[in-house]
Structure 1
Amino acid sequence: MSRMCIALAVSLCFASASWDARGAESPGKTNVVLILVDDLGWKDVGCYGSDYYQTPHIDRLAAEGMRFTDAYAACNVCSPSRAAILTGKYPARLLLTQWLPSGRWDAEKNRLKEARYLSNLPLEEVTLAETLRESGYRTGFIGKWHLGTETYYYPEHQGFDVNVAGRDYGAPGSYFYPFEGQWKIPSTGQTLVKKAPLSGKPGDYLVDRLAEEAERFIRSSADRPFFLMLSHYAVHTPLQGKPEKQKKYEAIETSRRQGKPAYAAMVESVDDSVGRVMQTLADVGVEDETLVLLTSDNGGFAKATSNAPLRANKGSNYEGGLRVPLIIKWPKRTTPGSVSAQPVVGTDYYPTILDAVGISPRPHQHVDGVSLVPVLSGTGSLNRDAIYWHYPHYNQHPQSFPSGVVRAGKWKLIEAFEAGDVALYDLDNDIGEQHDLSQSHPEKTAELLQSLLDWRRQVGADPMRPNPQYRDH
């Protein structure tokens, strides 16, 4: 054999070894679809006990995967919850604790000044999308963003190859084409003109258009690993359902309704979109190679739905504002139709996805999340003592007040920042939070309050401060 041939053989051998090494480190073809529904309440789905809302496709997803009964959003309003999902960090650690832009504080009526917070998701954060893209995934964002302004802080600046309809506002002007409208800004009284988030044609409905774009992304990405985040604007206001669907719910007598017919129609349209996504995964032959997660960014809106038996609604730190649906389908790994009562939170999705697809964890990034893989695979439980919340803000939702929260096992403590008092609830026996046990269980109350104070110091949570403009009426 000539020296040239020997050199070529050695070179090919090293190249093959190098390729095998890279292949061993690269992820397998496990795709990820994360469906985030805006303002979907814990009981707004059939498999969570609703006999009013029609959600056959979401119910089927639960039958094929695992349903979590005690899943939580990382905040009672949208932007912080979304930031927590993408970063694996608590909103308090991010200093992104309020929806963007805030506008509910009143200088004369509120006793405390709101804590400081960022108005954009910092570019220094290595998002879930960035980590997946670095590992060879094609990444797509479709729908509501609400985490920053166009010039520097849109999905394309945070790790997504494709951004469809992701803008700075949290709700569309209209769900009907051309999807435009106006909104009066609470803090200034000025009018914001909401431009169309994406193209369309007369008669188009926004939920359907986003599903169509999701289908297109899946079909164009089927030959490589992909991460799709379908982040619906629905079921957020304005409450606008498709007329043919809304009529069905209007025909139901008022006493049997869980929410407004327009809202019910929107829920059904979102469910239709889930069916379209799952059918597309099947059509392109990747359904069994795709991890699917479906959840909400906070509890249901008080003027749209009832969260009973949970107390309160979106914007509140009672269960109705924090507890959300969560369904995860992990083919061949999760027992179909399984149910978990393990308390989990939005920060957990980042490490869970990395663990499930075989990418090394980034504990310095998703520092507040834990992988749910032991629960999903039935091999163990979670090593976590408590989950925490920090909401140092005012809003106009019922039963909302600035507060901190800790849940540890069955116990939940709420600290009201303005009044300075605390309440303790046993969620195993009082899911509706009707019985404050802080006086009858003083040791547990003191223990949890100290845990909450220690946590705030640890994450650098920004505090509320006295408001010198406050007028005691």
Structure 2
Amino acid sequence: MKKIIYISTILAVLSSCKTKTQEITKTAKPNILFIVVDDLGYADLSVMGSKFYETPNIDAIAKSGNIFTNGYATCAVCSPSRASLLNGQFTARHGLTQFDGAPSGLEWKEKNRHTKLLPPEYKHHLSHDDVTLPEALKENGYRTFFAGKWHLGSAADKSLPTDHGFDINIAGYERGGPYSGGYFSPFNNPQMEDHEDEKGMSFSMKLAKETSKFIEKNKDTTFLAYLSFYAVHSPIQTTKEKWEKYRDKAEQMGIAEKGFEMERILPARKYQDNPVYAGLIEQVDEAIGSVLQTLKDNGLDKNTIVVFTSDNGGVTSGDNFSTNQLMLRGGKGYQWEGGLRVPYFIYVPWMEAQGNRIDKPVSGADLYPTLLDLANIPLKPEAHADGVSLKPLLNGERIDDRPLFWHYPHYGNQGGEPVSIIRKDNWKLIHYWEDNHIELYDLNSDLKESNDVSKENNELAENLHTQLMDWLKSMNTEYATEDPEWDKEARRKRLESHRTKLMPRLEKQRKQMLSPDWQPNDDWWGSEVKSNDLKVN
């Protein structure tokens, strides 16, 4: 299948926007295209170092804009970080500390994971008391549109996108994955209409198509288009054509005999060699390319800010064990950089950037005030209490040094442990709630987080730990509690089964997926029923 838009076209689209003759006035309010990809890892893009995945359209955003090399999600799982993107707050403040739907307290024991702690209760939807980014923009004349994954409450909670400032909601509800219909039409999503001529269309292209429709209809207004992909969340699916492309590429690059190694809790994928996941990423990239082309076709590319990020790291363990984060340890759910550091790009057409790399640590909570600032709208520090505007950094200036905080008093499906974290300058301290021990890493010299230097830097570790504990106390947050009936031996046996039973099963599945005759089902998850992926308008 030919690509919708080639890299040269997109680079031309974005690069043409930086000439001084095309600058908007200081009082003009720009349009905003805010793109969130689900579970996309820091190293899951070619522009961020991947030699396996191909993402020319996403790369073009980065290469024409600003790349934040220390861009972080506010949580290693989805719902908490998604809330932070919209309210500008860290998770301990807004209280949605776990992905919506996860059990807590005694209900957690029914999972039979035999953990030492019982995770606390948490908020299950975005607070109605918070003034969200779309609400702030609506107050200033913006039309607001949401398409894709929500996972921040349900209709019963009165917490759908339209309850929090979006004029239009396409496909957003309480589910966190494409569980109703998969990644190919019909999608059976209760907040989105399926059409007969869309059979075989990918979910990502469907969301792009709906976003393009909104942009075209509102090209004479000022708008926020929030495109929140369900991909690349499990269950991963792609077309036969894309699977073949990346299976052949994996073979050319050399397929390792063993594809997994044990982390502390679960096996972790060692390499980027999953051809289905690679195909799913490419489908997202093509969908994004189609929306960027819509902006250009409607003369909106010169006055539309483009934000691109992910809600957490890529999945190395758990779910579909899909990817590896190369230079980073861990992935989604984990307390290490692979779980927290994400792709983070901001393209502002009237600012000359061209792939400018900004190393200052920044957070998903910062995007709310940054967009207000770029739109010449007064900031709302009482709302986005933890986020700061990054506009000075985009202008080549400085912002004040500050610590970043994370609080995850839960166990993740991907091997994550109950932790709280502070990053200050190049130092990262992790507090583990099971036994209250700490780890300290110098991220300048140890990005892989393989060398705990807390004992060699005792005074620094104590100071950072005090700051972290004081901050948590000021948030009046919730903590995990000990299970008085904890069975240590049952826990040991469960962890051992991950090594002796789960890992061999994963190795077998990996080899099957990389074999030339592999086929998931007769119609490749419905993609071969009828393909309209090139039809976007």
- Normalised by the size of structure 2, how large is the TM-score? 0.78
Rounded Cα–Cα distance in structure 1 between residues aligned with 2:141 and 2:401: 31
Counterpart position of 2:33:
33
- The 8 Å contact of residues 141 and 229 in structure 1, kept in 2 or not, is answered as yes
Aligned: 1:130 with 2:135: yes
Contact 1:402 1:416 in 2 (8 A): yes
Secondary structure of 1:324's counterpart equals: coil
1:111 counterpart = 2:113: no
- 2:311 maps to what in 1? 297
Name the SS of the counterpart of 2:84 in structure 1: helix
CA-CA distance at 1:120 after TM superposition: 1.0
- SS state at 2:212 partner: helix
Aligned to 1:176: 184
Equivalent-residue separation in structure 1 for 2:349 and 2:369 (angstroms)? 18
Q: Residue in 1 aligned with 2:374?
A: 356
- Distance in 1 between the 2:273 and 2:360 partners? 28
- 1:417 matched residue in structure 2: 433
Deviation string 1:434-468 (CA, Å, 9 cap, x unpaired) is 00000111011101100100110122221222223
2:70 match: secondary structure: strand
Structure 1 residue 377 displacement after superposition = 1.3
Shift of 1:397: 1.0
Code of the residue aligned with 1:208 in structure 2: it is M
* Contact 1:179 1:196 (8 Å CA) reproduced: no
Map 1:39-188 onto structure 2 (within 5 A): 39-103=39-103, 105-106=108-109, 109-151=114-156, 152-173=158-179, 174-180=182-188
Q: CA deviation at 1:161?
A: 0.3
1:432 matches 2:437: no
Write out aligned runs for 1:298-317 (5 A): 298-302=312-316, 303-317=321-335
1:467 to 2:472 alignment: no
Aligned equivalents of 2:393, 2:352: Cα separation in 1: 9
Indicate how the Cα distance of structure 1 residues 357 and 195 shifts in structure 2: closer, same or farther if over 3 A, else same: closer
Question: How far 1:307 moved relative to its partner?
Answer: 0.8
Determine which of 403, 409, 413 is the counterpart of 1:396. Answer: 413
Match of 1:188 in 2: none
Larger CA deviation: 332-341 vs 300-309: 332-341
Structure 1 contact 120–149 (Cα < 8 Å) conserved: yes
Equivalent residues of 1:388, 1:404 under 8 A apart: yes
- 1:94 deviates by 0.8
1-structure distance, mates of 2:384, 2:200: 42
Residue 222 (structure 2) pairs with residue 225 (structure 1): yes
Q: Is the 8 A contact 2:302 2:349 kept in 1?
A: yes
Provide the secondary structure at the position in 1 that maps to 2:308: strand
Q: Is the 8 A contact 1:55 1:267 kept in 2?
A: yes
Matches of 1:220 and 1:356 in 2, distance apart? 24
1:207 corresponds in structure 2 to: 204
- What code does the residue aligned with 2:350 have? K
- Equivalent position amino acid for 2:109 in 1: D
Paired residue type of 2:275: P
| Alignment partner of 1:260 is 2:274 | yes
Instruction: String of CA shifts for 1:75-126, please: whole Å, max 9, x gaps.
Output: 0000000000000011110110000110483367122221221111111111
Q: Which moved more, 1:457-466 or 1:211-220?
A: 457-466
Q: Where does 1:312-331 land on structure 2 (aligned, <5 Å)?
A: 312-331=330-349
C-alpha distance in 2 between matches for 1:89 and 1:405? 15
1:438, 1:285 → 2: CA distance?
54
Helix, strand or coil: the match of 1:293?
strand
Task: For 1:199, give the aligned amino acid.
Answer: D
1:471 shift after superposition: 2.9
CA contact (8 A) 1:115 1:464 kept: yes
Residues 208 and 291 in structure 2, CA contact (< 8 A), matched pair in contact too:
yes
- Aligned-partner Cα distance in 1 for 2:331–2:353: 32
Shift in Å, 1:413: 0.5
| 8 Å contact from structure 2 (residues 369, 388) kept in 1 | yes
1:215 partner SS: helix
Q: Provide the secondary structure at the position in 2 that maps to 1:415.
A: strand
Structure 1, unaligned runs of 5 or more: 1-25, 181-193
The residue that corresponds to 1:244 in the other structure is 241
Matched, 1:271 2:289: no
Which position in structure 2 is the counterpart of 1:374? 392
CA distance in 2, matches of 1:97, 1:355: 27
Q: Does 1:458 align with 2:464?
A: no
Alignment correspondent of 2:268: none
Q: What is the identity percentage for the equivalent residue pairs of Structure 1 and Structure 2? A: 40
Q: Provide the residue aligned with 1:185 in structure 2.
A: none
Structure 2 CA distance, aligned partners of 1:253 and 1:64? 29
User: Cα offset for 1:470?
Assistant: 2.4
Q: Deviations over 1:30-72 (max 9, x none)?
A: 0111100000000011110111111111111111101111100
Give the alignment's TM-score, normalised by structure 1: 0.89
RMSD between aligned alpha carbons?
1.6
Partner Cα distance (1:196, 1:84) in 2: 23
CA distance in 2, matches of 1:393, 1:283: 46
Q: Distance in 2 between matches of 1:74 and 1:396?
A: 18
Query: Structure 1's 268 and 407: CA in aligned 2 closer, same or farther, altered over 3 A?
Result: same
Give the secondary-structure state (helix, strand or coil) at the position aligned to 1:308: coil
Task: Tell me the equivalent position of 2:14.
Answer: none
Residues of 2 paired with 1:103 and 1:457: CA distance? 24
Farther-moved stretch of structure 1 (200-209 vs 415-424): 200-209
Q: State the one-letter code of the partner of 1:177.
A: S
SS at match of 1:139: strand
Distance in structure 2 (CA, Å) of the matches to 1:327 and 1:431: 20
The amino acid of 2:142's aligned partner reads Y
Say whether the 8 Å CA contact 2:66–2:354 is kept in structure 1.
yes
Distance 1:30 1:253 in 2: 42
- Quote the Cα distance in structure 2 between the aligned partners of 1:127 and 1:259: 39
Aligned-partner SS, 1:265: helix
Which among 453, 457, 464 is matched to residue 448 of structure 1? 464
- Three-state SS of the structure 1 residue aligned to 2:200 is coil
Q: Is contact 2:250–2:273 with CA below 8 Å preserved after alignment? A: no
The count of corresponding residues between Structure 1 and Structure 2 is 433
Q: Distance in 1 between matches of 2:440 and 2:352?
A: 34
Looking at structure 1, the residues matched to 304 and 392 of structure 2 have their Cα atoms a distance apart, in angstroms, of: 18
